[in-house]
Amino acid sequence: MGLSGGIACYKSAELCRALVKAGATVQVVMTESAAQFITPVTLQALSNRPVYVSQWDAREPNNMAHINLSRKADLILVAPASADFMAKLIHGRADDLLSLMCLARPLGEVGLLLAPAMNREMWAHPATQRNIQQLKADGAHVLDVGEGDQACGEMGDGRMLEPDEILDDVETYFQPKSLSGKKVLITAGPTFEAIDPVRGITNLSSGKMGFAIAKAALQAGADVTLIAGPVSLSALRGVQTVFVKSAIEMHRAVMAKAQDSDIFIATAAVADWRPAQASDQKIKKDRSGQTPTLSFIENPDILADVSRSDRAQKGKLYCVGFAAESHDLLKNAQIKRERKKVPLLVGNIGPETFGKDDNTLLLIDAKGTLELPRASKIKLAHQLVEQISQRISSL
> Can the peptide bond before residue 80 be classed as cis, meaning omega within 30 degrees of 0?
yes
Question: Which residues, in sequence order, are CB contacts of 268 under 8 Å at separation 6+?
Answer: 187, 188, 189, 190, 191, 205, 207, 210, 227, 228, 229, 250, 302, 322
Give CA angle at 25 (93, 29), nearest 5°: 30
CA distance 40 to 54: 12
Residue 140: count other Cβ atoms within 10 Å of its Cβ: 20
CA distance 253 to 264: 13
Structural Rg of the chain based on CA atoms? 26
Catalytic residue among 16, 102, 152, 319: 152
Active site residue 152: yes
34-59: b or e for each residue (b if 16 or more CB lie within 10 Å)?
A: bbebbebebbeebbeeebbbebebee
Beta strands at 358-365 and 296-298: parallel, antiparallel or unpaired: unpaired
Active site members: 152
